[in-house]
Amino acid sequence: MEGRLTHDAIKIGKNVTILCINNSFKKIPAKSIWVSGNPLVSPTTLLMFQLSSISTVSLLINVCFKPLGQSSLVSQIFGGMIFGPSILGRSQDVADTVFPIRSRAIIDVFSGFGIMFFFFEVGVKIDPYLMVCPGRMAAVIGASALIITTGLSIGLAVFLKTSVTMSTSLQNSLILVASSQSLTAFPVISTLLDELKIINTDVGRIALSSSMFSFLIGFSTTSILFSIKQANSHHIYSFLPPFLSVVAFVATNFLILRPKLKKMFTQAMGPKCIDEKTIAFIFILVMVSAFISEVIGQHYIFGPLLLGLAVPDGPPLGAAISSKLASLGLAFFYPAYCAVTGLQTNVFDVDLETYYIIGIIIIFTFVVKLIAVILPALCFNLPIKEAVVLALILNARGIVELTFVNLWKDGKQIGNQSFTLVTVSVLVVTAIITPLVRMMYDPQKQCLSEKRSTIHHSNSSLEVRILVCIHNPENIPTMMNILEVTHASEMNPVAVTAMVLIELEGRSTPVLVRTDKYRGETPLLADQVLNSLIQYEARNEGCTTAQSYTSMSQFQTMHDDICRIAIDKRANILILPFHKKWAISGKIESTSSPIQNLNINVLNKAPCSVGILIDRGILTGFKSVRTSQLKFHVAVLFLSGSDDLEALAYSFRMGKHERVHLTIIRLLVSGDENSKDIKFDNNVIHEYRQANKENDRITYEERVLTDGLCLSSYMSSNLEHYNLILVGKTHQDSPLLQGLGEWNECPELGVMGDMLASPYLKTKASVLVIQQHELRGKLLSKNMRFLRSKSSSMYPELPTKIICQGVKTDSFYISVDGSRHSY
């Protein structure tokens, strides 16, 4: 055979081709182009070329389709169709060069391994408890979407078979096609919601839970049907051996393997405890489970999916497995399988009869599922628009439908034409649904507040509602100090809500629950926060209420959970930890870009005021206000603007605490004392001071500065003895800030906040940078007019300390008793 073709393909019918391969084919080395050889002769080289071509083309198509709001699934299937007989594959030369018949078996095996590990990863991320107990609403919607749609679509298929003349191949395919269109697959819905960034919204959570329950019913039914198919006689009990083997396989995974893994790998163990040998052993189990599935008569993805469900989701084991498979599975295996499916799609091979018959089933099933989801959703008082969006999402098609049609095609249960149309339906339906959902559903609307929710605008006699967010145990001491100095009393109660924010690892379903009512295994951090709140509530009995929530989500969408709780609890302010962590030496120990992006998202979308806490508690040993006998010094740097007014309002609240000594530092620009904004700020400041004139622990001083250099010099040398500094995020244009913004490393803190967050600042004080909640349009204008129309009468002069820097003027100090002294 030397020098001859290594294969011969003989076509003996429309759908039958005999492939003859040389035994030495697998040993043929690749020949480089420098010796006039063909590198694609080698099967290894050919496979690498095929995969790289598919991935590159799919990526380019995705870049082009993304501005149109399309899902990545569309580009992946379309990328395969480009090389298939529908487009480039119509040229025999291209088909024989890039995807010759002899390579089909190799790439099919590769994509089969890919889809096997993909479904294993899907199973790892699912909590089996949520599949079985999704909640009443999700269960009803999920069951309705599957049962009603399947029943009516199969009924239509049977009607068409008996009343319409069609080919035998099409007749045999109709019921399977109708079944594939009725599926509501959790992996498909989860991937779509993740791409749409709405997985943390109300609609997203309902869609996830409903699809999980529907997937459980469909998965169980499919397993039973496979068992019945294995019966070797028509006797009623002949299906029992295959069925019992499936039951035994399931019981082994959930009653033996899962408890063993949960005992071996607890949440207290970090992800580093999962070594490479453990991961390798799990991967071997995946292949063994796939083999067992085939032995007992199930599809080979049944075992890996079941094994994934048996593996405890989340850290440490689930997170470690997911981190190993996520990039490879989603970026390589998943697109390869979609593309291979597209390669087998030939739209020119479908006759008109097949088009309209299968088209009727596809459209009918789509409409029926819309109705089957919308009606029960409305019965549970879901708004009509959200019900329609939910129905569109649950109509999504994807990898699961492609897996089934590939299985049926390989088993000769459906013909090539039906296979092509089902694949195209997945492409078309997804292409329609994705931009429709983007257009109809805006997740930001659930974060909108109709009223201004701030401390400054709230009634001082009503309770202050605070939402604090915590990422790690180091955040707890300083956050508890903030809550302590907020001063809960019978006249001024405080309602505290804590949110433990945990990155979603090894799970696909986000969790947002009250910590004390969570039925699953709560993270250690959530228990620590809950205990701290219980002690805080006990110390301030009758003056405060406290609740704790746990949010396990991806950082990209975690802000949705935070804003949702802020609206539900009508928070006046929410406090977030800064993304930089200090070391005991005073230097920056670590930074987290995901937390920084989270903070920016919250600042942009929060329904209340927001504070970012720069925590330097480690520099003072995390001293507690409650146990320490020392004074707690709080300073407010006031320049101008609504954010500074919010910081001022919060500081006066803190000033009522018996251990807090509050200093209000007014930063003024020389020669700007008579501006309209300064007069407005004067009125507000005097009003606060008048209300607290009997509190001798509150000091007010003014610093007259000329430029940014004076401001920087003052902040570098005069803030050493404070424990906590409050400052607004943004300020009106001021000569004091000119040129400083160019050095701003953290724009979410503003200019002064960024300066206070510098590790070179000579202070051990923690800093709270505050942004006041803003209303847009008419509401904002009306509110500002109200504030400016308040009494402008002169308030009695209160103790003031004025220090001028950078200008030639007399400096003096007015003491509490009103006597004047030189400074």
- Same domain flag for 594 and 653: no
Tell me how many domains the chain contains. Answer: 3
Mean pLDDT of 353-378: 90
Report the alpha-carbon distance of residue 167 to residue 176 in Å, rounded: 15
Which of 230, 256, 252 shows the shortest CA–CA distance to 243?
230
- Same domain flag for 362 and 282: yes
- Same domain flag for 106 and 218: yes
The tokens of 503 are what?
């990155």
Mean pLDDT of 621-639: 78
Mean pLDDT, the chain, whole residue set: 79
- In degrees, rounded to 5, the angle at the alpha carbon of residue 653 between the alpha carbons of residues 612 and 575 is 20
What is the DSSP code string of 427-450? HHHHHHHHHHHHHH--GGGGG--S
Q: Which amino acid is at 709?
A: L
pLDDT in tens, 575-585: 999 988 888 87
- Same domain flag for 526 and 405: no
User: Does 39 reside within a domain?
Assistant: no
pLDDT in tens, 697-740: 888 888 888 887 888 888 888 888 888 999 999 887 777 877 77
DSSP conformational letter for 101: G
- Same domain flag for 372 and 470: no
User: Does 178 reside within a domain?
Assistant: yes
Q: Are 177 and 157 in contact (CB under 8 A)?
A: yes
Q: Are 455 and 575 in contact (CB under 8 A)?
A: no
Helix axes 399-410, 168-182, angle to 10 degrees: 150
pLDDT, position 3: 40
Q: Are 85 and 348 in contact (CB under 8 A)?
A: yes
Q: Are 119 and 290 in contact (CB under 8 A)?
A: no
- Same domain flag for 280 and 336: yes
pLDDT, position 521: 63
Instruction: Flag whether pLDDT at 620 surpasses 90.
Output: no
pLDDT, position 519: 59
Q: Which amino acid is at 576?
A: L
Which of 427, 807, 484 shows the shortest CA–CA distance to 653?
484
> Helices (DSSP H) in 230-275: which residue ranges?
240-251, 258-264
Least confident span in 10-24, 429-443, 525-539 = 10-24
Instruction: Flag whether pLDDT at 646 surpasses 70.
Output: yes
pLDDT in tens, 335-345: 777 777 877 88
- Partnered with residue 576 across adjacent β-strands are 612
pLDDT in tens, 765-811: 889 999 998 865 444 444 444 444 443 333 334 444 444 443 333 33
Instruction: Flag whether pLDDT at 234 surpasses 50.
Output: yes
Q: Tell me which of 731, 758, 774 is where a domain ends.
A: 774
Mean pLDDT of 72-85: 78
Report the alpha-carbon distance of residue 253 to residue 261 in Å, rounded: 10
Handedness of CA 773, 775, 779, 784 (dihedral sign): positive
Report the alpha-carbon distance of residue 185 to residue 183 in Å, rounded: 6
- Same domain flag for 488 and 432: no
- Same domain flag for 484 and 353: no
Q: Report residue 671 CA to chain centroid gap.
A: 50
User: Does 623 reside within a domain?
Assistant: no
Query: Domain span at residue 308?
Result: 48-232+263-440
In percent, the amount of the chain with pLDDT more than 90 equals 9
User: Does 639 reside within a domain?
Assistant: yes
User: Does 492 reside within a domain?
Assistant: yes
- Same domain flag for 219 and 119: yes
Mean pLDDT of 516-544: 80
Q: Are 549 and 500 in contact (CB under 8 A)?
A: yes
Strands 724-728 and 698-705: unpaired
Q: Which amino acid is at 369?
A: K
Mean pLDDT of 74-84: 78
User: Does 793 reside within a domain?
Assistant: no
pLDDT, position 786: 40
Global pTM value? 0.76
Higher pLDDT, 271 or 687: 687
Higher pLDDT, 627 or 85: 85
- Same domain flag for 545 and 660: no
Question: Within 10 Å of residue 366's Cβ, how many Cβ atoms?
Answer: 20
Q: Which amino acid is at 722?
A: Y
pLDDT, position 470: 92
Least confident span in 200-209, 357-366, 606-615, 796-805 = 796-805
Which of 174, 182, 198, 190 shows the shortest CA–CA distance to 144?
182
- Same domain flag for 72 and 128: yes
Which of 55, 51, 29 shows the shortest CA–CA distance to 40?
29
Q: Could you check whether the bond before residue 316 is cis, i.e. omega within 30 degrees of 0?
A: yes
> What CATH number did the domain enclosing 430 receive?
1.20.1530.20
> What CATH number did the domain enclosing 523 receive?
3.40.50
Q: Report residue 361 CA to chain centroid gap.
A: 35
User: Does 12 reside within a domain?
Assistant: no
Q: For residue 266, what is the enclosing H or E element?
A: none
